[in-house]
Amino acid sequence: FCEEFKEKCPICVPCGLKLAEKTQTAIVRHFGLQILEHVVKYRWNNMPRLEKVYLKNNVMGLISSGTQSILEEESHIKDVLSRIVVEMIKREWPQHWPDMLKELDTLSKQGETQTELVMFILLRLAEDVVTFQTLPTQRRRDIQQTLTQNMEKIFSFLVTALQQNVNKYRCMVRVSFPWDQSAQANCRVGIAALNTLAGYIDWVALSHITADNCKLLEMLCLLLNEPELQVGAAECLLIAVSRKGKLEDRKPLMVLFGDVAMHCILSAAQTADGEGLVEKHYVFLKRLCQVLCALGSQLCALLGSYCDVETPANFGKYLESFLAFTTHPSQFLRSSTQVTWGALFRHEVLSRDPLLLAIIPRYLHASMTSLVKVGFPSKTDSPICEYSRFDFDSDEDFNAFFNSFRAQQGEVMRMACRLDPRTGFQMAGEWLKYQLTAPVDTGPMNCSSSVLFLSAKTGEGLCSIFSPSFVQWDAMTFFSESIISQMFRTMDKDEIPVNDGIELLQLVLNFETKDPLILSCVLTNVSALFPFVTYRLEYLPQVLSKLFASVTFEVTEESKAPRTRAVKNVRRHACSSIIKMCRDYPQLVLPNFEMLYNHVKQLLSNELLLTQMEKCALMEALVLISNQFKDYERQKAFLEELMAPVAGLWLSPEMQRVLSDPEAFISYVGADNKTADPVLEDPSGLNRSRISFCVSTILGVVKRARWPAAIEEAKAGGFFLGYLPSGTPIYRNPCTEQVLKLFDNLLALIRTHNNLYMPEIMARLGDTFAKALDMLEVEKNAILGLPQPLLELYDSPVYKTVLERMQGFFCTLYDNCFHILGNAGPSMQQDFYTVEGLATQLLSSAFNNLNNIPDYRLRPMLRVFVKPLVLSCPSEYYETLVCPMLGPLFTYLHMRLSQKWQVISQRTMLCEDDAADDNPESQEMLEEQLVRLLTREVMDLVTVCCVSKKNVEHNTTAAVDGDDDEAMATEVTPPASAELTELGKCLMKQEDVCTAVLITAYTSLSWKDTLSCQRTTTQLCWPLLKQVLPGNLLPDAVSWFFTSVLRGLQVHGQHDGCMAALVNLAFQIYEALRPRYAELKAVMEQIPDIQLDSLEQFDSKLLNPTLQKVADKRRKDHFKRLITGCIGKPIGEQFRKEVHIRNLPSLFKKVKPSLETDVLENEDGEGFNVLFEP
């Protein structure tokens, strides 16, 4: 009834006014005012002039005498009353209501109640016109320009009201009447004035903010010490100091470095901080911190520019106050300062300032404290925890914040270290020495830890990741790693403090611990200090000895308990450190090669001593050093010897049988076992580890074995074979012969693995392993964007059950097989591409049984195998290898994705109860998100293959697993030179492939994945279509392409980035093809609400070459207006009643009056049809 009454009742205005009388209850008055607002918004255009005047006068009367006093009136009444006035202003000012500002000024003189309402009106007007821009363009322009012309008066009114009411309030407070009604009323007006100023300061000319020797800024600084007004004052100050614009205009802002402003800011900060953790004071501190940050940014922008600004006299005081925020217990405040510290340390002039250089040691000292990972909201072990409870909802939130904060801090510390590397290194060294001698404090033991200790039969307590000792070690390690790496980049070679570095390295190498978490930190320090070994080679054997000892680390020797995650991480860390050392310093390690090789052989001889990953890592390290032989025959012989055990195992008749037969394979790896007890030993574990070892070793060798980078060395060593016709040098890889020997069985394994997904093979999996081929939970969480558990349980086994071990085995094996294929091309080059029948072999193995392969397996195949193969393949092999492989693949992928998206679009929102049980919502979400990610992978692959790389950034889709649908660029026009690659042209020559690629690209525009749509639209669609334009396209095909784009607009039109890209593409197609295909006009005519006469006009200009060409932007704008009917809207706007605001006679077409001229005062009434008389 209420809505119908508002829509249709002819006496809404008198009814609304009657209900809005202040004798009524608040809820009745609010409804009355809502009726009046509805009338102004939706019925104003049809109201007679006298009724408008009557309504306007009565609303102004309500402000004047129809509201309760400022302290009694409900805020929602004030809000709706101000909205009504603003709605009238938007429709009639300035043309038909020239005295509006005078009327508001008159109202404000009646008292605090009216002044506050006037403030609300001015604020809402600024928000609607400037901030949210909810008006038609011409109306917005008229109102904004009139506001700008009157801004001096408006600002004067706001500042005067603020000053007068603050003065009255202070007088009252001084005579001990802070809770006096009139004092509170003055305070309320002061707050309203600050809020209103905040709405204007962001966009008015800077001259208004800095007028009268920066009177406003001075007032705001003084208000920082007024408890009731300080937050609003800080907000205004922040907006003012954050202003961009001409440097010359911003120069007066430097007044905030003056004595008065600095004193106000510092004293306000000290007072707020001294009163303990109260939310209001903490919010104020955050604002003050942001003000100081913005002030620093302004200083960096102005100093050293043409503005002739000098370093402020109070720069030292500024740095002191800024450092106080950096040392505050709140991690949020600490993090807020980092960007500004970085800007100061980078600044050309300030970075040489003695005051800044003097504060670097104190900044680094503050960083040492900030890097310690304490302050979780659920804990009470640090003063930081209390602040964290205000800033973070959970430990997970804090953990995510802290990790990004630490990374940011590392960057800034490195910048500080560039300016003073010696101090940084000295501090890192002292902290490292302290940690090496400090007693271990494990903190209170938790239950799971004690279980571990019992099982490990040790009385010694080990650290958890919350232990006081570990968090200190962890912070110190990050600090020293950041500082030392920067020191080597900054200082000259002869200035490096080698003796001090070697002393630290010796201390670290001599340090012994049985705590896996601390040992992991020790290994990082060894790696950080390793560059010092380049000056003292005699320390290399000690480093290698330390690392190899950690590869076989155990908490308790010969323990039967499964290794904990922390122990596995240490061993993995040691392997990674060895690989990193051999990769970055191979020449250094080469003289110790034999010693290293013998040590690795000794470790490999015991099959149970190392995991497969650890064995392969050590072999990779040897391969990296062997690249330094720079002798083809010697390296080939070494690789043959290294891979002999793998070759023997991989090529054995039993393995051949297992790898070729799915049933034999699942039996060999134990996946058909029906009675496996997760607690007992896993009988087939050794078989699985043998297969993993072989595959991982092949991958390691393929990835790491290379020819010398210098062509002369390659020629001398026997690696160089000649040149391709394109001029690219041809090399031979010493691993080729060994790897190709194992290649047939690898393809057999891939074929078998794909066949495991056949229903009849799946049925043979044991009950325990029915889900062995499913995704790991960690993969599901990553795809759904769910946060990982905050803290990995370092004291729990890595895989808890045999099923999880089996899932991990299949997942890793599948990925590694395709990594080998993806690396084979770049590694073995023409020896790989010329393998006889390679395309056929790959089609019959990697692309076998794709129908049954789930999306989560298909994605990595495309990313780690197909894409690298295509990118690395020379054009000479396109016809023989790439096209025969991609043709069937693209055709299949189009069919598969179309079916998947059809299922998603047809899936009803409400599923039947029994169906819901079979396919719960979380599973549906997972499936949908997987389809999205697969779509992105496929479209990225098509783009990589077809569009010139120099124009398009090819991001791997691994980076888009999160919720990034909205995180899109708004750049929509593809580069003018976006052309097809040679491979693209080759593919487009084959009719079936060309059809599959085009249909996939254009169909994908209406699939419900915004990111994929935008990428495809901007990078792929037009270059593909342009390639086939010279041919004779069927009219139906042309209509289909155009309709596909319009359909995409219907689905994605609500997203600005997508909408702009799709409109641009539709425009390109229409302009290029409309002259040849009249069918496109027929498609346009079917668009809802299209203006047919406007379409005729557009068409006639397009088809008449003699007419002068209209500017590109105007043609696009015209076209966009034509197709508006098919542009999708957000659901919140789809059913919203349209507000129509009519344009008034334009004010500003003629010569603009000078800024001093007051249009409203000089207007004699002849130009305007004045509606509202004062």
Report the 10 Å Cβ neighbour count for 837: 10
Res. 848: pLDDT tops 60: yes
Per-residue pLDDT at 673: 75
Q: Specify whether the CB–CB gap between 687 and 676 falls below 8 A.
A: no
Per-residue pLDDT at 1105: 73
Read off the pLDDT band of 970 (50, 70, 90). very low
pLDDT, one tens digit per residue, over 226-248 is 999 999 999 999 999 999 989 99
Per-residue pLDDT at 449: 37
Per-residue pLDDT at 1170: 42
Query: Stretch 851-876: mean pLDDT, rounded?
Result: 93
pLDDT, one tens digit per residue, over 616-634 is 999 999 999 999 999 999 9
Return d(Cα 967, Cα 971) in angstroms, integer. 12
Per-residue pLDDT at 559: 62
Q: What amino acid is encoded at 291 in this protein?
A: V
Per-residue pLDDT at 605: 87
Mean pLDDT of the chain: 88
Q: Which of 873, 890, 1085 is nearest to 988 (CA)?
A: 890
Return d(Cα 635, Cα 706) in angstroms, integer. 10
Res. 974: pLDDT tops 50: no
Read off the pLDDT band of 674 (50, 70, 90). low
Q: What amino acid is encoded at 114 in this protein?
A: Q
Query: Stretch 291-303: mean pLDDT, rounded?
Result: 95
pTM for the whole thing?
0.86
Domain extents for the chain?
1-204, 497-629, 631-873, 874-908+921-1134
Read off the pLDDT band of 955 (50, 70, 90). very low
Per-residue pLDDT at 787: 72
Q: Which of 893, 902, 1121, 925 is nearest to 1006 (CA)?
A: 902
Per-residue pLDDT at 958: 39
Structure tokens at 995: 């059809």
Helix H segments across 242-379? 247-250, 259-274, 279-302, 315-326, 331-336, 338-346, 354-370
pLDDT, one tens digit per residue, over 895-952 is 999 999 998 888 755 554 444 445 566 788 899 999 999 999 999 999 999 997 554 4
Structure tokens at 189: 């007006």
Residues 681, 686, 690, CA angle at the centre, nearest 5°?
Answer: 160
Total residue count of the chain as it appears in this document: 1174
Q: Which of 1000, 905, 904 is nearest to 945 (CA)?
A: 1000
SS (H, E, C) 901-938: HHHHHHCCCCCCHHHHHHCCHHHHHHHHHHHHHHHHHH
Beta bridge partners of 797: 564
pLDDT, one tens digit per residue, over 760-796 is 999 988 888 888 899 988 888 888 887 766 555 455 5
CA 225 to chain centre: 38
Read off the pLDDT band of 340 (50, 70, 90). very high
Per-residue pLDDT at 791: 55
Lowest mean pLDDT among 162-176, 342-356, 988-1002, 1107-1121: 1107-1121
Query: Can you tell me whether residue 980 is helix, strand or coil?
Result: strand
Helix H segments across 312-353? 315-326, 331-336, 338-346
Query: Can you tell me whether residue 126 is helix, strand or coil?
Result: helix
Per-residue pLDDT at 788: 67
Portion of the chain with pLDDT greater than 70, in percent:
90
Return d(Cα 366, Cα 370) in angstroms, integer. 6
Per-residue pLDDT at 86: 97
Query: Stretch 428-456: mean pLDDT, rounded?
Result: 71
Per-residue pLDDT at 991: 87
Structure tokens at 362: 């104190």
pLDDT, one tens digit per residue, over 254-290 is 999 999 999 999 999 998 888 778 899 999 999 999 9
With a CB cutoff of 8 Å and minimum separation 6, the contacts of 44 are 52, 87, 88, 91
Region label for 308, one of left (φ > 0), alpha (ψ between -120 and 50) or beta (otherwise): left
Per-residue pLDDT at 790: 59
Report the 10 Å Cβ neighbour count for 747: 20
Portion of the chain with pLDDT greater than 90, in percent:
70
Per-residue pLDDT at 1: 64
Read off the pLDDT band of 446 (50, 70, 90). very low
Res. 457: pLDDT tops 70: no
Residues 1036, 1040, 1045, CA angle at the centre, nearest 5°?
Answer: 155
pLDDT, one tens digit per residue, over 995-1022 is 999 999 999 999 999 999 999 999 999 9
Q: Residue 730: what are its φ and ψ, rounded to 5°?
A: -110, 125
Read off the pLDDT band of 3 (50, 70, 90). confident
Per-residue pLDDT at 192: 97
Region label for 837, one of left (φ > 0), alpha (ψ between -120 and 50) or beta (otherwise): left
Return d(Cα 123, Cα 1168) in angstroms, integer. 26
Structure tokens at 799: 């895989």
Return d(Cα 612, Cα 309) in angstroms, integer. 64
Per-residue pLDDT at 1158: 42
Q: Which of 61, 101, 109, 106 is nearest to 81 (CA)?
A: 61
Q: Specify whether the CB–CB gap between 934 and 941 falls below 8 A.
A: no
Return d(Cα 52, Cα 46) in angstroms, integer. 10
Read off the pLDDT band of 1168 (50, 70, 90). very low
Residue whose tokens read 């603009």: 1152
Return d(Cα 810, Cα 803) in angstroms, integer. 11
Res. 38: pLDDT tops 80: yes
Query: Stretch 670-681: mean pLDDT, rounded?
Result: 65
Res. 470: pLDDT tops 80: yes
Query: Can you tell me whether residue 785 is helix, strand or coil?
Result: coil
Q: Which of 589, 509, 603 is nearest to 551 (CA)?
A: 603
Res. 447: pLDDT tops 80: no
- DSSP code at position 797: B
